[in-house]
Structures are given as structure tokens and as C-alpha cells.
Amino acid sequence: MPKQVLITGGAGFIGSNFVRHWCQRHTGRVVVLDILGYAGNRANVADLEDQARFRLVKGDICDRALVDELLTTEQIDTVIHFAAESHVDRSILGPAAFVQTNVVGTFTLLEAFRDRWQTQGKPHHYRFLHISTDEVYGSLSADDPAFTETTPYAPNSPYSASKASSDHLARAYFHTYGMPTLITNCSNNYGPYQFPEKLIPLMCLNIMLGKPLPVYGDGQNVRDWLHVSDHCTAIEQVLHQAEPGDVYNIGGNNQVKNIDIVYQLCELMGEMAPANGIELPKTPRELITFIADRPGHDRRYAMDISKIKRDLGWSPVYNFTDGLRQTVAWYLTHRDWWQPLLSAEYQGYYKNLYGDR
Ligand code: NAD
Ligand code: DAU
């Protein structure tokens, strides 16, 4: 029987990529619950809205009555929970929203799902997949081994602390109630539809607009980059193959320093913009500007993905150079998608954060 899925945060970056991936491969009902805040964009799933089995609901995961109604009327058996406040810099400026959505929102979903699962007689095929991050494990120094599923939690930002809290709740619902929760912890994603506050799309847009490329601190921080399509296949495999209560690390085996990404983006943009009929206002490299570091900035993340490789046979397929090239091409050719996001609110946010730069 096809799964009847509720996808929270399905109008955001990873959520919308996943919804499209899922709809191409599976039949069955697909309901997206998204508050359509600054990062949730109806345009991200517009191509799916003509499918009868697809429904986008604008609403808050903290709204228990709404979640109950959706689980019941849509006969949901599977929740894939992406919805979150996701940007570290915003969590430093205003942590309250992170506690509300990431902790209280996750708790609300877990409670509603527990109620439905119990009322239905605890069916074996029900699943609650909680999407989380490598940031819960804290920061690595240059020679530390990569994070495994048993690395102790040590979140350093309000964002990662709120995600760690929600991971603990999902874990506790399995251990206490036997509820079939699954948790995935993934490294940095990149690809189409990422909101241009995150490193890669921000740099792409600023190069096109001739604006400074703000590099925090010395630019030597390392992230483990994974193409969003690889994240989608990993989530799908976890959903189909993992045992209730399982936790899987997902990553790209691809550690790169921030400054090297910025250099690569400058080069790719310089090469690809003219081919797409776009004249760059300034030489990209000249826009690089080192600015004050992010408070509490984690130095390095790296994921050990041997468990998911061994148990589920998953590995990333994208090579970073090709993935970055594809991503740059997407931002070059989707001005209609990103231009509306450069609104007064968005600009104001950056002004508050960094002043004029
Ligand atoms: P995003 O900010 O692009 O999307 C988040 C979505 O959640 C948005 O559509 C937003 O409108 C929605 N949302 C926020 N608050 C909500 C609420 N109260 N009710 C309903 N919807 C709400 O983030 P993303 O990068 O797509 O991340 C998705 C998930 O993956 C998050 O849980 C994040 O922690 C996790 N994650 C992200 C990355 C990454 O590199 N982006 C890596 C690992 C894990
Ligand atoms: O590791 C997974 C996490 O990756 C996810 O859980 C988060 O939701 C996601 O936002 C991302 O967090 P990061 O803080 O790593 O991503 P961000 O794109 O904000 O920054 C990547 C690196 O680039 C980080 O070291 C900070 C730096 N940076 C970022 C921005 C936006 C800059 O130097 N300049 C910038 O303007």
C-alpha cells in the first residue's frame, strides 16, 4: 500500500526538493504543511500543485488542532519532518523562534502522531522521520575523527541546541512509547531552491549583483557539503529500510574550507555568467571581504557515513565540482525565483545583522 505522507516544511529548500523527488517515485497522498514564512515559498512546489494527490496547507506545526485534523482527515501514516528555523545567524539574533518551532513544534507533531498511532492500534508501517543536522555534535578541530552516530551531543548555537532538543524528544518517543521514530543527521546541503541567506546562494547572488562577498573570520572553517538530491535519496532509503528507533548520519565525504568555496564560485560565475548572457558588474574575486566572525562559529564539521553505507547501501553520487556547476547554472537562470526574495524585509535583515557593507 502506498504511504500517505505529511511533509512538514515541504516548501523550504530541502523539503521542496524532497517533495518533488518523492512525487516522481511514489503514488499515494502527499500533504505539505508549511507556514510559508520567509524561507517557505509556494513557488518551490508550484509545479506539483496540479496533481490531485498533492495538497499544500499553509499552517504552523505548533498548531495542534490543525495537525490533528490533517493526520486524521488525510489518513497519514508517515510524517517526514523538515520544518524548522534553519539559519544559524538568525538564531544568534533571535533564538526564541528557534525554540518555538524547532522544540515546541516538534513536540506538537510527536504528540499528535502518538495519539493517531495509538488510536489506530499502533500499526507496524507507521513512521515519524525527524530530519536533523550534524551541528548537534558540536565542532571538530582539524585532526579530530568525523562524527559518528555515537558522538556525544555538544550543540554550540541556539539553532543547534534547538535541533538537539528536538532529536532528544524524537528519541525519547521511541524509547518510552515504542513509537516508530527515525532520526537522520545530515551535513551542509547545497543545490537549487536554497534561500539566499546561506553561504552558496548568497555568494552567487552577490556576485551577480556586484555586492561584497562576506567571508566570516579567516574563511578557514570547514563544512562537509552534500548535494540536496543525495540527501533526498538517503531520506527515502532510511524511510523504506531503517528499523524504528534508528539514527543515521548522512554526509558528502566532502570537506571544503569556506574560502575555497568562495574562490570556486568566483571562478564558475566568471566563466558561466557570460555564456548565460549575464554581464557581471565587477570582477568576482575583488568582491571578497573578510568580516567579523560569527559568534561561537563552529570550526569544522565532518560526517562518518559508514553506518548508512553498510546498513542501507547508500552513498552520495554527486561530485562537488559538477554539483556546484549545476547549482551556479540554476541561480544564473532563475532570476525570476530569487529576485522577489530581495525584498525590503530581506534587505532589512541583513542591514540589522551587518550594517551597510
Ligand atoms: P529552510 O529554512 O529552507 O526550510 C524550512 C521550512 O520550514 C520553510 O519552508 C519554512 O517556511 C518552514 N517552517 C518554519 N517554521 C515553521 C512552522 N512553525 N510551521 C510550519 N512550517 C515551518 O530549511 P532547510 O535548509 O530546507 O532545512 C530543512 C530541515 O533540514 C531543517 O530541519 C534543518 O534543520 C535540516 N537540515 C538542513 C541542512 C542544510 O544544510 N540546509 C542540513 C542538515 C539538516
Ligand atoms: O551543517 C548543517 C547545517 O548547515 C544545517 O543544519 C543548517 O540549517 C544550515 O544553515 C547550515 O549551517 P551553516 O551555518 O554551516 O551554513 P551557512 O550557509 O550559514 O554557512 C556555511 C559556512 O559559511 C559557515 O562556516 C559560515 C560561513 N559563512 C556563511 C555566510 C552566510 C560566511 O563566511 N559568510 C556568509 O555570508
Q: What pLDDT digit, counting tens, does each position of 48-66 carry?
A: 999 999 999 999 999 999 9
| Closest ligand 1 atom number to CA of residue 189 | 40
Instruction: Provide the annotated active-site residues.
Output: 134-135, 159
| Closest ligand 1 atom number to CA of residue 250 | 43
Collapsed DSSP state (helix, strand, coil) of residue 31: strand
Q: What pLDDT digit, counting tens, does each position of 130-140 carry?
A: 999 999 999 99
225 lines ligand 1 (CB under 6 A): no
CA of 286 to the centre of ligand 1 (A): 33
Query: In 3D, which of 33, 118, 26 has the Cα closest to residue 84?
Result: 33
Cα–Cα distance measured from residue 97 to residue 100, given in angstroms and rounded to the nearest whole number = 5
Q: What pLDDT digit, counting tens, does each position of 21-52 carry?
A: 999 999 999 999 999 999 999 999 999 999 99
Q: How far is CA 133 from the centre of its chain?
A: 8
CA distances from 87 to 65, 263, 326 (A): 28, 23, 23
Residue 323 pLDDT: 98
227 lines ligand 1 (CB under 6 A): no
Residue 348 above 80 pLDDT? Answer: no
Residue nearest to atom 15 of ligand 1 (CA): 84
Q: What is the mean pLDDT of the chain?
A: 96
61 lines ligand 1 (CB under 6 A): yes
User: What are the grid coordinates assigned to 236, written together?
Assistant: 527515502
Probe target for ligand 1 pocket from 7, 8, 13, with the most ligand atoms within 8 Å of CB: 13
Map grid coordinates 537549487 to a residue: 192
Q: Which residues of 109-132 are buried (b: 16+ CB within 10 A; e: fewer)?
A: bbebbbebbeeeeeeeebbbbbbb
Cα–Cα distance measured from residue 285 to residue 264, given in angstroms and rounded to the nearest whole number = 10
Domains annotated on the chain, with CATH: 5-196+224-257+302-318 (3.40.50.720)
11 lines ligand 1 (CB under 6 A): yes
Residue 12 pLDDT: 98
Residue 350 pLDDT: 54
The mean pLDDT value for 235-243 works out to 98
CA of 297 to the centre of ligand 2 (A): 9
